[in-house]
Amino acid sequence: MVNQLDLRQRLSVDVYDLLKSRLGPLLLGAIHRDAAVPEALAAQTSIFQHAYSSSIVSDLEQVVDNLARVTLNADARFSSPERSI
C-alpha cells in the first residue's frame, strides 16, 4: 500500500508506477494525500465521521477490498485439497 500519494509530485507518481509494475495485483492500493486527515485528527474524530465524502474514504475502502481479495486467494491456495503438509 502506498500512503500519502500526491499526484502533483513527480517522484510520488514515479514511485507509485514502479510499485505497480513490480507488485502488480499484490499492491493493495494507494491512499492519496488529503487535508481531511489532519483535520479529523485535530477534531479528534475518525476520517469516516469527519469527511465521509472525502476521496481518502474511497481509497481506504479500495484497500480493504483488495486486502480481502488477496486474503481469500491465499486462503484458497493454502486450503486446497492438493496441498498436503
In a domain, 84, yes or no: no
Residue 62, pLDDT above cutoff 90: yes
What's the pLDDT band for 82 if we cut at 50, 70, 90? low
Number of domains in the chain: 1
- Checking phi first, is residue 5 left (phi over 0); if not, alpha (psi -120 to 50) or beta? beta
| Domain interval for residue 12 | 2-78
In a domain, 83, yes or no: no
In a domain, 24, yes or no: yes
Residue 85, pLDDT above cutoff 60: no
Looking at residues 67-77, what average pLDDT do you find?
Answer: 81
Q: For 1-59, what is each residue's pLDDT tens digit?
A: 999 999 999 999 999 999 999 999 889 999 999 999 999 999 999 999 999 999 999 99
Closest by CA to 71, choosing from 30, 20, 26, 29, is: 26
In a domain, 63, yes or no: yes
Q: Which pTM value belongs to this model?
A: 0.75
